[in-house]
């Protein structure tokens, strides 16, 4: 009989603490990637909504390409491509050989670029749901573009976007498991290490899956809460 | 960036296309059958059945597919002796089978929710009309509920199929040489990530493009009632001839 308390404990032979750190890194890389994705995604959404044709084509191309290509391939591109590019730059300064990029940055960037495509779609859909009259009112009240964006568009857009963003966030958490191929010691990678060194792959992959499920449950509750909160003024207005 | 290299890579990657397509087709079809069964069970009156199905759906939708693949391929290796006794080890030592199993189980969970949504969107009047005509049980499901639901399901299921094409890339993590597997090998051999990425990306986009057209055709074929009829002349003639 295997001593599970010892195995998943925090002792020298226990993997509990390593898995907890792994989970924390998973969440960290997912959060950084998600926020990068929000920034890129809003730029892409803006490009898609822009009146000018080249920008619109760029935005459409971006969302089509990145939603159609496996995420793993994008991570490989960032990991090897980033290292190659950095190596070439370092080569100019006389540095020879392979330069490895920090895998956290690579992972977060790759997640950001992929999730930007999904977030762009969410933002675009939410923007088209905004009422035109409110924007005209803002313009009539003398607001400039930036002020209107900050005061009128963003708060309302976020309200519409929260359910969509929740879906993208869950996607990002699951996608972050793929970053393990770069060697970043997040949850998936730690699980792999534990499975290999204890020769108990089933127990550890199951534990890994359960931790991911716990993160999913927690995020779902958080987003449900955020959605309720974002609608609180809305309900009053409907009464 | 050199175009001849991209072209050579493109040709080399084509060797992985049959594997990717095979993985996609088999897992989508198996997953679809499973999903239909799950969706029907999900709507069953038994509370326990509903709970079990929704737990299954939640578990497979809430965890990364990579974990699922590893759990089946590496994880079940822990029970090698038992599986050997059951004569199942032949299957579970094969990464190809394990990936197919993981992909099918995964897509079945997503598919279950899509099909459930489709089944629930069938107007109650249609089902009542079917009942009034004396249909019930399987006949009603086969003739009325499923065809009407299928129309709503096709476009959404199309997205899931595209996601599965992307999902097959994970097979490369258990040594299967499909498109991404070959691409990763080429990248680590040549260190020309951008060119290999461009070639592999182009292949995936082509596959998805054709898939989308195919799904569009199926959608078109399944919704003759939404198509424009050519002018009013034909129905009038039809009335004339029948009288």
d(CA A15, CA A1): 17
Percentage of chain A modeled with pLDDT above 90: 57
Alpha-carbon distance A101 to A33, whole Å?
16
Residue A69 lies in a domain: yes
Provide the 8-state DSSP code for B88: -
Does any domain span residue A151?
A: yes
State how many domains chain A has. 1
Per-residue model confidence (pLDDT) at position B240: 46
**pLDDT at position A2, please?**
67
Alpha carbon distance A48, A58 (integer Å): 8
Residue with tokens 């107007």: B123
Give the model's confidence band at B59: pLDDT under 50 very low, under 70 low, under 90 confident, else very high.
Answer: very high
Measured between CB atoms, which of A68, A73, A175 is closest to B180?
A73
Model pLDDT for residues B144-158, shown as the tens digit of each residue:
999 999 988 998 899
What band does B241 get if pLDDT is binned at 50, 70 and 90? very low
Mean pLDDT along residues A115-131: 91
CA-nearest residue of chain A to B80? A202
Ranges A49-53, A162-166, B97-101: which has the least confidence: A49-53
Q: With 50 as the cut, is the pLDDT of residue B124 above it?
A: yes
Q: Is residue B85 part of a domain?
A: yes
A162: left (phi over 0), alpha (psi -120 to 50) or beta: alpha
**Which CATH number does the domain housing residue A124 bear?**
1.10.3720.10
Q: How far is B127 from chain A (nearest CA, A)?
A: 32
- Model pLDDT, residue B243: 44
Q: Is residue A237 part of a domain?
A: no
pLDDT for res B236: 47
In a domain, A235, yes or no: no
Identify the pLDDT of residue A69. Answer: 94
CB pairs under 8 A between A and B: 118
Once rounded to an integer, what is the mean pLDDT over residues B229-233? 53
> Is A190 part of a structural domain of the chain?
yes
- HSE-CB of B204 using CA atoms within 13 angstroms: 30
Give the integer Cα–Cα distance in Å for B227 and B219.
11
pLDDT tops 70 at residue B101: yes
pLDDT in tens, B197-217: 999 999 999 999 999 999 999
In a domain, B199, yes or no: yes
Residue whose C-alpha is closest to residue A71's, from A79, A83, A82 = A79
* Amino acid A209: pLDDT: 96
CA-CA-CA-CA torsion sign (A62, A216, A77, B13)? negative
User: Each residue of A6-15: pLDDT tens digit?
Assistant: 888 877 778 8
Rounded CA-CA distance A160/A209 in Å is 31
Please indicate, yes or no, if residue A238 is contained in any of the structural domains.
Answer: no
Residue-wise pLDDT tens digits, B80-98 = 889 989 888 888 889 999 9
Query: What residue in B sits closest to A217 (Cα-Cα)?
Result: B62
Give the nearest partner residue to B74 out of A68, A201, A213, using CB atoms. A201
pLDDT confidence bin for B223, thresholds 50/70/90: confident
Please answer yes or no on whether A81 and B194 come within 8 Å at the CB atom.
yes
B94 vs B102: CA distance, rounded Å: 13
- The CATH number given to whatever domain includes residue B45 is 1.10.3720.10
pLDDT band at A97 (very low <50, low <70, confident <90, very high): low
Digit-coded pLDDT (tens) for B133-188: 998 888 999 999 999 999 889 988 998 999 999 999 999 999 999 999 999 999 98
Across A102-108, average pLDDT: 91
For A210, the domain range is 4-230
What integer pLDDT is reported at residue B96 of this predicted model? 94
Query: What pLDDT does A230 receive?
Result: 84
Query: What domain count does chain B have?
Result: 1
Position A135 in a domain: yes
Residue B115: the pLDDT is 94
| 3-state secondary structure (DSSP) of residue B130 | helix
Question: Please, are residues A148 and A138 in contact by the beta-carbon 8 Å criterion?
Answer: yes
User: Considering only CB atoms, which residues of chain B are within 8 Å of chain A?
Assistant: 58-59, 62-68, 70-71, 74-79, 162, 166-170, 172-173, 180, 183-184, 187-188, 191-194, 197, 200-201, 204-205, 208
Residue numbers of the domain that contains B212: 17-242
* pLDDT tops 90 at residue A96: no
Q: Is there a domain that residue A239 lies in? A: no
Which of B13, B54, B62 is the best mutation test for A, with the most CBs of A within 10 A? B62
- Weakest-pLDDT range from A141-155, B9-23, B201-215, B219-233: B219-233
Tokens at B238, concatenated = 């039809």
């Amino acid at each position: 009989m295997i001593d599970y308390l010892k195995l998943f404990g925090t002792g020298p032979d226990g993997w509990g603490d390593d898995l907890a750190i792994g989970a924390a890194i998973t969440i960290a890389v997912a959060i950084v990637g998600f926020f990068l994705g929000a920034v890129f995604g809003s730029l892409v959404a803006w490009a898609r909504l822009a009146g000018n044709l080249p920008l619109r084509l760029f935005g459409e191309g971006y969302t089509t390409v990145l939603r159609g290509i496996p995420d793993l391939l994008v991570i490989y591109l960032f990991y090897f491509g980033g290292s190659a590019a950095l190596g070439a730059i370092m080569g100019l300064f006389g540095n020879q050989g392979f330069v490895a990029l920090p895998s956290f940055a690579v992972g977060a960037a790759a997640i950001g670029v992929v999730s930007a495509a999904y977030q762009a779609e969410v933002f675009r859909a939410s923007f088209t749901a905004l009422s035109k009259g409110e924007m005209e009112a803002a313009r009539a009240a003398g607001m400039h573009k930036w002020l209107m964006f900050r005061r009128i568009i963003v708060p309302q857009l976020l309200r519409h976007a929260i359910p969509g963003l929740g879906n993208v966030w869950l996607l990002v958490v699951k996608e972050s498991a793929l970053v393990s191929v770069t060697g970043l010691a997040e949850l998936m990678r730690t699980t792999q290490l534990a499975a290999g060194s204890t020769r108990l792959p089933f127990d550890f992959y199951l534990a890994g899956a359960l931790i991911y499920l716990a993160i999913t449950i927690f995020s779902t509750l958080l987003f449900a809460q955020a959605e309720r909160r974002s609608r609180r003024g809305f309900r009053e207005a409907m009464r | 960036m050199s175009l001849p290299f991209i072209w050579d890579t493109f040709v080399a990657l084509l060797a992985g296309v049959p594997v990717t397509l095979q993985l996609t087709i088999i897992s989508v079809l198996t997953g679809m059958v499973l999903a239909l069964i799950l969706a029907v069970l999900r709507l069953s009156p038994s509370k326990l059945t509903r709970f079990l199905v929704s737990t299954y759906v939640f578990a497979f939708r809430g965890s990364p597919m990579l974990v699922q693949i590893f759990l089946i391929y590496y994880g079940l290796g822990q029970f090698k002796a038992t599986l050997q006794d059951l004569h199942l080890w032949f299957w579970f030592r094969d990464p190809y089978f394990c990936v197919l199993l993981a992909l099918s189980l995964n897509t079945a969970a997503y598919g279950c929710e899509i099909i459930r949504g489709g089944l629930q969107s069938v107007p109650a009047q249609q089902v009542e009309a079917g009942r009034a005509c004396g249909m019930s049980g399987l006949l009603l499901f086969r003739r009325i509920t499923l065809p009407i639901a299928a129309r709503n399901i096709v476009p959404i299921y199309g997205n899931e199929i595209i996601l599965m094409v992307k999902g097959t890339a994970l097979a490369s993590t258990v040594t299967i040489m499909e498109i991404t597997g070959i691409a990763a090998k080429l990248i680590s051999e040549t260190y020309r990530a951008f060119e290999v990425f461009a070639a592999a990306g182009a292949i995936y986009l082509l596959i998805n493009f054709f898939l989308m057209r195919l799904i569009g055709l199926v959608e078109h074929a399944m919704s003759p009632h939404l198509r424009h009829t050519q002018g009013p002349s034909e129905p009038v003639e039809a009335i004339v001839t029948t009288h």
